[in-house]
Amino acid sequence: MEDYNKIIESLGIKFLKASKTKVLHPITVDNYYDVENSIVLLNKCGVRFGKYDEVAMAEEVLFMPAGRTTTITFGTGPSVRLSNDEFLTTKKKYLSTFTAEDSKDKNSEFYSSISFETKVFNSVNFFTSLDIPPFVIRNNQKVVDLIEKLISEKHSHKPGKDRVVSLLMEQIVVEVIRHLLDNRMFVEQLTTNSTYFKDPRLIDIFAYIKEELGGDLSNKVLARVANVSEDYVGQYFKMLTGINPQDYIEYQRMEEAVNLLRTTKKSIRDIGHEIGYKDTAYFCRRFKMMFGIPAGKMRRRESLMNV
């Protein structure tokens, strides 16, 4: 258990946004993807997700790890099926912000959602590193109460609300990890995590990649950082993390590209150069391959979880 305490203590947890969303018409989105973690309280809404159409019911919580592609349906009854690309241009037909007026309608389907980052040593997306699919949190009133408190606080006008929201976000993440441990969910992945995050050489590599994201991150350079041979560094990295270093680097670069597209007015060409792609056309091809949509549409994108 001490290993899990160390991991929790190493987490940098950052609240990003929260909202309540009304389902105007049931919708299925194929290949849904986000670089942010989302936790969704299904206040009065049913959800199906994943290739086996798993079901989450009203008053349950759906956890969506960052970086995982999935098919997801919000609402009960026959749904309209869209690609992720089609959803971007038509989402307002199916989802809208839940208002006080909507609460008077007993037939309204709606959900509450929170998006956030959780990074180990401010370098590695914790839930992404577990390589786990979306999952349902059931019979956990504490998590439900914390989500409701955070959303209520976020939409209040009380002094210090940002500080309270930050503290509640940290509590939610800790309770989610406790839920996984208590229910023995993803035991193998959590055990692997607790092992490799204790290796200081790996932490040095993570930190270097974060600092030099737009520079030379070849295996030769990473080998020098970790003080191992160039022939061994790829095997070493994959042995501890389950992925090869260049795949990890590309994910980190694309995650930063999404962040820059959403938060700046920099051109796609400049963003590609900033994260290490000298060839803009190649950057755009890799971006669309990873996210299923062109970089320009990602700039205009709003998460399915936050409308």
**pLDDT tens digits along 135-173:** 999 999 999 999 999 999 999 999 999 999 999 999 999
Closest to 63 in 3D by CA, of 38, 93, 80: 38
Q: Check residue 107 and give its pLDDT.
A: 86
Tokens of 291: 């996210």
Tokens of 237: 């990295």
Q: Calculate mean pLDDT across residues 169-197.
A: 89
| Helix (H/G/I), strand (E/B), else coil: 33 | coil
For the chain, what percent of residues have pLDDT higher than 90? 62
> pLDDT confidence of 297, banded at 50, 70, 90?
confident
User: What's the Cα-to-Cα distance from 79 to each of 20, 58, 72, 303, rounded to whole Å?
Assistant: 20, 17, 11, 19
| Cα 198 from chain centroid (whole Å) | 23
> pLDDT confidence of 243, banded at 50, 70, 90?
confident
Calpha distance 150→237 (Å, rounded): 37
Calpha distance 249→215 (Å, rounded): 11
Q: Is the pLDDT of residue 189 over 60?
A: yes
46 DSSP 8-state letter = -
Q: Check residue 240 and give its pLDDT.
A: 79
| Helix (H/G/I), strand (E/B), else coil: 296 | helix
Q: Check residue 35 and give its pLDDT.
A: 82
pLDDT in tens, 113-122: 999 999 887 7
Q: In this structure, are strands 80-83 and 27-32 parallel, antiparallel, or unpaired?
A: parallel
How open is the CA angle 66-68-69, to the nearest 5 degrees? 135
Q: Check residue 238 and give its pLDDT.
A: 86
Mean pLDDT estimate for the chain: 90
Q: Check residue 255 and give its pLDDT.
A: 87
pLDDT in tens, 190-242: 887 777 777 888 888 988 998 999 999 999 999 999 999 999 999 999 887 77
Helix count (H) and strand count (E) of the chain? 13, 12
| Helix (H/G/I), strand (E/B), else coil: 11 | strand
Give phi and psi for 4, each to the nearest 5.
Answer: -70, -35
Give phi and psi for 233, each to the nearest 5.
Answer: -60, -40
Contact 20, 215 (CB under 8 A): no
Q: Check residue 300 and give its pLDDT.
A: 63
Q: Calculate mean pLDDT across residues 86-110.
A: 89
Q: Check residue 197 and give its pLDDT.
A: 72
| Helix (H/G/I), strand (E/B), else coil: 95 | strand
Q: Check residue 307 and give its pLDDT.
A: 63
Residue 54 CB-half CA count within 13 A: 15
Q: Check residue 256 and give its pLDDT.
A: 92
pLDDT in tens, 39-53: 999 999 999 999 889
Q: Calculate mean pLDDT across residues 17-32.
A: 94
Q: Is the pLDDT of residue 304 over 70?
A: no
Measured in Å, how far apart are the chain's first and last C-alpha atoms? 39
Closest to 114 in 3D by CA, of 162, 165, 56, 74: 165
Q: Check residue 190 and give its pLDDT.
A: 85
Q: Check residue 301 and give its pLDDT.
A: 60
Q: Check residue 192 and give its pLDDT.
A: 75
Q: Check residue 1 and give its pLDDT.
A: 61
How open is the CA angle 174-175-178, to the nearest 5 degrees? 90
